[in-house]
Amino acid sequence: MTAGIHPEPLGVTVSTEALLLDEQFTGRLSYHELEVDAPGDPLLVSTRLVESGISDTHVLYERPGAWAVALGALAEITLTPSEAVLELVDGPRTSLRWTDSPVDRVAELLERLAIDGWRAYGWAAFELAYAHAGMPELIPDGETLLHLVVPHTEVRIADGRATIRSTNPDLLDTIRALLVTPAPVRDYEPSPVAVEHSNADAYRASVAAAVEDIRERRLQKVILSRVVEVDHPVDLVGTYVVGRQRNTPARSFLISMGGLRATGFSPEIVAEVDETGWVTTQPLAGTRELSILDADNTDLRADLLSDTKEIFEHAISVKVSWEELTELCEPGSVVVDDYMAIKERGSVQHLASSVSGQLTAGRNPWQAFITLFPAVTASGIPKKAAYPVIQRHETHPRGLYSGAVLTVDQSGALDAALVLRTIFQRDGKTWLRAGAGIVEQSRPERELEETCEKLRSVALHVVRA
């Protein structure tokens, strides 16, 4: 049986092919499930599944206490500057034009999936924010704004147990064998990438120019980034294993979709929405390096907590997150927890807060996501004022950088990780990228140093292919 879609409502454009074929795809598709023990390190077990050869399309997504691996695709959704497209494997293609918020069309397409218990995995480009803000002129030609897959096979691991789900029952035993057989220990040898000098002069100049924009009251804060190219082949799985062993991320991921590959160790979430509609975002702003010496870290933390520039940068980021959630949530439900706590994230430590609230009736997870997207800590304040400044001062489109890797369930749960501390591959090129928050008190040399501190969260752990 093949997955299908439901008929289109009046007023929505759908491809002629989808209309003609819809009657052939009215049955619902269900997953076969198997629960088994999953002994061993879930990091090694999960990466073994990725390397199994079951599918070149895969997403590994880790959140606290849980690992998920998506393999292959039953359905794919892509979002362009003009339309949202749903393509079913061996099935019809549906195209919806969008005019207001593009993610509304994504939500519509997901609702039409005739796949019981689906979970979609994928990513959103930073430039999705330009589309949502009504600034299409800032979007590069041919840019994909969002890409989701509903996998044909999925493994969820937690507490030493694994749930295997597949539309192909023959794969259940194949994956069970991979899970119960001890994964071989591989001795990866990192080849650190130097990050100090790449585009350094141009970055200092960009920071100085952005400070002038802020002094002229065009905006309060903007995050500017720089690219560090990697000039040798990279083993992304090996880099993920070594980097995850040496990082303490809020989320981690390893993806291969549509020609884009990346692995990263996200320091914060853009949005987490549970099945009840409780939504959380975690702004991190304010940074110092993380030393291997406890005594040094004590001094660095004290310096971070007393630095007026860093405290201001964090406080205004929390304020924006509060205001965004207040628009979405029940009156009086929005709260701030762990205000200005110190969070260690790989080679750096940050000022961190958590802002949460209860979505009002009628609001859905996608509305929460797009309201909080992009993360205020990766864009600027006001966000819309920051977008042309970012485009003017950065030499490369951002794409996945400072966008999100995300999962969304049929139940309504959504989890979106901010894409920082990541290595990217596409079209034969490999690169790193990191930025810093620029405010009126910023100094170009210090902001350059901050990008180096962040880049080392990945650069020190890069494994050659």
pLDDT given for residue 282 in this prediction: 95
pLDDT at 164 over 70: yes
**pLDDT tens digits, 308-325:** 988 999 999 999 999 999
Distances in Å between the alpha carbon of 399 and those of 129, 325, 387, 389, 435? 11, 25, 13, 16, 14
Query: Which band of pLDDT confidence, cut at 50, 70 and 90, is reported for residue 458?
Result: very high
pLDDT given for residue 246 in this prediction: 92
**pLDDT tens digits, 225-256:** 999 999 999 999 999 999 999 999 999 999 99
Q: From CA 226, how far away is CA 200, in angstroms rounded? A: 8
SS3 337: strand
**pLDDT tens digits, 32-63:** 999 999 988 999 999 999 999 999 999 999 99
pLDDT given for residue 329 in this prediction: 97
The model's pTM:
0.91
Mean pLDDT across the chain, nearest whole number? 91
pLDDT given for residue 220 in this prediction: 95
Considering only 137-151, 295-309, 371-385, 429-443, which range has the smallest mean pLDDT?
Answer: 295-309
Q: From CA 451, how far away is CA 447, in angstroms rounded? A: 6
Q: From CA 127, how far away is CA 393, in angstroms rounded? A: 15
pLDDT at 18 over 80: no
Under a CB-based contact definition with an 8 Å cutoff, are residues 290 and 301 in contact? no
Q: Confirm whether 127 is a catalytic residue.
A: no
**pLDDT tens digits, 397-409:** 999 999 999 999 9
pLDDT at 278 over 50: yes
pLDDT at 280 over 60: yes
Tokens of 381: 């304040």
Considering only 23-27, 131-135, 159-163, 423-427, which range has the smallest mean pLDDT?
Answer: 23-27
Q: From CA 241, how far away is CA 188, in angstroms rounded? A: 8
Proportion of the chain above pLDDT 70, given as a percent: 94
Q: Show the CA angle centred on residue 143, arms to residues 11 and 410, nearest 5°.
A: 55
Q: Which of 108, 268, 272, 394 is catalytic?
A: 268
**pLDDT tens digits, 74-89:** 999 999 999 999 999 8
Q: From CA 251, how far away is CA 428, in angstroms rounded? A: 26
What's the whole-number mean pLDDT along residues 368-397? Answer: 96
pLDDT at 17 over 50: no
pLDDT at 260 over 90: yes
Domains for the chain: give ranges and CATH numbers: 200-250+272-396+427-459 (3.60.120.10)
Q: Cα 434 to chain center, whole Å?
A: 14
Under a CB-based contact definition with an 8 Å cutoff, are residues 360 and 406 in contact? no
What's the whole-number mean pLDDT along residues 277-286? Answer: 94
pLDDT given for residue 160 in this prediction: 93
Residue by residue, DSSP assigns 262-315 as EEEEESSEEEEE-TT-EEEE--EEEEEE--SSHHHHHHHHHHHHH-HHHHHHHH
What's the whole-number mean pLDDT along residues 391-395? Answer: 94
Return the number of other C-beta atoms located less than 10 Å from residue 428's C-beta: 6
